[in-house]
Amino acid sequence: MHVRKTRFAATGAVAAMALLLSACGGDDQASDSGQDQDTQSPSPTSEQTTSSPTASNGMTTADDVYGPGCAQVPTDPSDEGSVQGMIDDPVGTAASNNPLLTSLTKAVKTAGLVDTLNKSDASYTVFAPANPAFEALPKETLNALLTDESKKQQLTDILTYHVVPERMDAQGVVDAGSLETVQGGSLTVEGSGQDFTVNGAKVLCGNVPTANATVFVIDKVMMPES
């Protein structure tokens, strides 16, 4: 009986030792695991590893302006009609201050489109006919558009045919190739870089920034299809 008790005691001691060693090993593993979790960098998510290019919003700066007609724009930054002066104004107001666009301004006011063009939450690309473009129209046609109340809708259609409800710079215009207008018709763009035409109209001064639009002064009044 004494021998059996001794064996049981020895066996119990071995079991206790095994449990103790197991517990210590578990603590070490937990500690090692904790260190790994503390020092290991978290796995990057797909959003972190994959960067999506930011789409161009069509906004330009004074440095982006180009074209031979820009030389006729005031250069004094304090002049509201200068490129720098147009930046902070919505396009309806900005155009009214530009000496190249006095005829367009008169037409816009006659059609009652100033508030539409000045919407602060709007984004436009405007192809703005310069004064000589209006002067090239038959006088009777222009006079009728500006004075005959029955021609107001026609005038509105002509003017909104020059407005695209999306802001684009020169490269964006070229890349698009075809542009849907506020009037509902489409414009065809031909050429590349800064050397392009819109429905055959040439750009006299392009990439002009305003508060809610990018403006391209052109040499032609474009007529929508009837």
pLDDT at 1 > cutoff 70 = no
How do the domains of the chain map onto residue ranges? 1-34, 62-218
Q: Report pLDDT for 56.
A: 57
Mind listing the pLDDT tens digit for each residue in 92-137?
A: 999 999 999 999 999 999 999 999 999 999 999 999 999 999 999 9
- 7-21, 89-103, 206-220 — which is least confidently predicted? 7-21
Mind listing the pLDDT tens digit for each residue in 152-161?
A: 999 999 999 9
**Cβ-based neighbours of 63, under 8 Å, separated by 6 or more:** none
* Residue given tokens 């002049």 in the structure block: 79
Mean pLDDT, range 37-52, rounded to an integer: 39
Closest to 66 (Cα-Cα) out of 214, 221, 212, 220: 214
- Would you say 159 and 129 are in contact if contact means Cβ atoms under 8 Å apart? no
- pTM across the whole model: 0.75
Q: Tell which CATH classification among 1.10.599.10, 2.30.180.10, 3.30.870.10, 3.40.50.300 matches the domain 62-218.
A: 2.30.180.10
Mind listing the pLDDT tens digit for each residue in 159-179?
A: 999 999 999 999 999 999 999
pLDDT at 29 > cutoff 60 = no
Mean pLDDT, range 40-68, rounded to an integer: 61
Q: What is the C-alpha separation between 178 and 181, in angstroms, rounded?
A: 10
**Cβ-based neighbours of 209, under 8 Å, separated by 6 or more:** 59, 60, 61, 62, 64, 65, 83, 86, 87, 215
Q: Report pLDDT for 226.
A: 74
Q: Report pLDDT for 131.
A: 98
Establish how many alpha carbons lie within 13 A of residue 182's alpha carbon, considering only the half-sphere containing its beta carbon: 21
Amino acid found at 144: A
